[in-house]
Amino acid sequence: MQMSKSVHSIACAAIAAFTAVPVAAQRPAADSAAGFPSRPIRMIVPFAPQGPNDQLARMVGIKLTEAWGQQVVVDNRPGAGTVIGTELAVRAPADGHTMLMISLSTAVNPVLRSKLPYDTAKELQPLINLAVSPNILVTHPSVQAKNIAELLALAKAKPGEITYASGGTGAATHLAGELLASMGGVKMTHVPYKGANPATIDLLGGRVAWMFGTILPTLPHVRAGKLRAIGISSPKRAPTLPDVPAIAETLPGFEALSFYGIGVPAGVPRPVLAKLNSEIARIITMPDTREQLRQQGAEAVGNSQAEFTAFFKGEMTKWAKVIKEAGIKAD
């Protein structure tokens, strides 16, 4: 049976419209990054100004502004161990115009804090790792330990008597100390401070035995002979401190790096994620940026979104185990 011309025309039109739907449906996703960014970008930093997270945010923000012609506004929202700034970010529209500086604090808060106003795993999308930085283990010169093995032996001989400082309960430097004690099979006493500066002051005064410190502010005290550097928390020795052994040389597998990354609210379209990741990776791996980070004791990363997501989830799992075993709670 043959169709009439009119019926045939209608059928052809219907088939054409039907087959065109998938192409049309794909266009918004494909074109969603074409006009991005369409307005200023907000970079939320859940820390006070002047710290490494703030400095990195401003470094990236300046270069993004130059590249895209849209202002990147750094918005410092410290408080509650990064919870205040993180909640603000995950509640923002998922269009790529709001980003968040994320760090180890972001990864450990789900275990460290009894209740969060958001679900980190579901509401935050890791975007890119900007840089990683090891910490150096420094002791007061009066401590009778010139290396990690001797420090652990001292702690075994005096269970609970050796004290170490950190910038606060659950801080990266605290968790690194707990990991050292756990892997070394010793008991040491943690003394939390409200920030790294007061912790360093008390260490310089000999009121605590040792601490993990970030390289840039700690190194001058080492060079002046006021503190002794006996180990670094990266898997291998750092190029900036070739004479300081990696703790992993004594405790194989030990690694406790600070990382500085960027996340966005979950749900940002894939093309926008790809555009953000690509441009920020280009910026963070530029020779001048790499050198600037190296001088601060950090190493540029600039990995893919998938790589950083896997790394971030790995950090959540790793440190959750340390926190639970040590019984650490921030609230």
pLDDT at residue 55, as a whole number: 92
Per the document, the length of the chain is: 331
pLDDT at residue 30, as a whole number: 46
| 152 and 173 inside one domain | yes
3: in domain: no
19: in domain: no
| 216 and 179 inside one domain | yes
pLDDT at residue 18, as a whole number: 37
CATH number at residue 75: 3.40.190.150
Segments forming the whole domain that contains residue 49: 41-132+258-326
C-beta neighbour count of 146 within 10 angstroms? 11
Rounded Cα distance, 326 and 192, in Å: 15
One digit per residue, the tens of pLDDT, for the chain of length 331 reads 333 444 344 344 433 443 344 443 444 444 568 889 999 999 999 998 988 899 999 999 999 999 999 999 999 999 988 999 999 999 999 999 999 999 999 999 999 998 999 999 999 999 999 999 999 999 999 999 999 999 999 999 999 999 999 988 988 999 999 999 999 999 999 999 988 889 999 999 999 999 999 888 899 999 999 999 999 999 999 888 899 999 999 999 999 999 999 999 999 999 999 999 999 999 999 999 999 999 888 999 999 999 999 999 999 999 999 999 999 987 6
| 147 and 212 inside one domain | yes
Q: Which of 218, 249, 280 is the last residue of a domain?
A: 249
| 84 and 56 inside one domain | yes
CATH number at residue 236: 3.40.190.10
| 152 and 243 inside one domain | yes
| 193 and 167 inside one domain | yes
Residue whose C-alpha is closest to residue 200's, from 222, 178, 184: 222
- Tokens representing 217 are 């502010």
What is the 3 state secondary structure string of 264-304? EECCCCHHHHHHHHHHHHHHHCCHHHHHHHHHCCCEECCCC
pLDDT at residue 330, as a whole number: 79
Domain count for the chain: 2
- Tokens representing 128 are 């890119």
